[in-house]
Amino acid sequence: MKDTKLELIVGVFVLVGIAALTYLAVKLGKLEVIGGGNNLEIHAEFDSVAGLKDGATVEIAGVQVGQVKKIGLNGDGERAVVSFSLTPGVKLYGDAIASIKTRGLIGDKYVSLSPGGSQKELPPGGKIRETESGLDFEKAISEFIHGNVK
């Protein structure tokens, strides 16, 4: 009888531990298991997305408003297409600007949005036309070393 009670307590303790680890994995991994289906998806084309990764943050004025969902090539294979989802309530307009920025000198890359101010709001699945690619430090250093600085 005493062994059964001890086994029950250990079993409950193990289940609570597994539940806590699962919760932390979902929260820290920023996975959308429940309630992530109503986000607004927007696309933007960049000349270069060097260093940007899936899951990178999307920010407006330093506030996280979404994350990068997918990075691929456009139909011509000449430009990178970045798809990102934004939290509900974020409004972007036709003259919005998407820029790839770096945290610090060698930090993570993220997408910074300037929402714009035109009359026309971007619809779900819309495309930001104005983009600014991030500075490629390796390319800049290579040009400096080889004397190709303009």
Count of helix runs (H) and strand runs (E) in the chain = 2, 8
Which neighbouring-strand residues pair with 80? 46, 73
Asked if residues 91 and 142 have their Cβ atoms less than 8 Å apart, the reply is: no
pLDDT in tens, the chain (150 residues): 677 888 899 999 999 999 999 888 877 765 555 555 567 888 999 888 888 888 888 999 988 898 899 898 888 878 889 998 888 888 888 888 899 888 877 778 889 898 888 888 888 888 888 888 877 667 777 777 877 655
pTM: 0.66
Helix (H) or strand (E) holding 128: strand 127-128
CA distance linking residue 109 with residue 101, whole number of Å: 6
In this structure, what are the phi and psi dihedrals at residue 54, rounded to the nearest 5 degrees? -55, 140
In this structure, what are the phi and psi dihedrals at residue 62, rounded to the nearest 5 degrees? 80, 0
Helix (H) or strand (E) holding 114: strand 109-114
Q: Which residue in 28, 86, 26 sits closest to 59, CA to CA?
A: 86
Tokens of 4: 């059964």
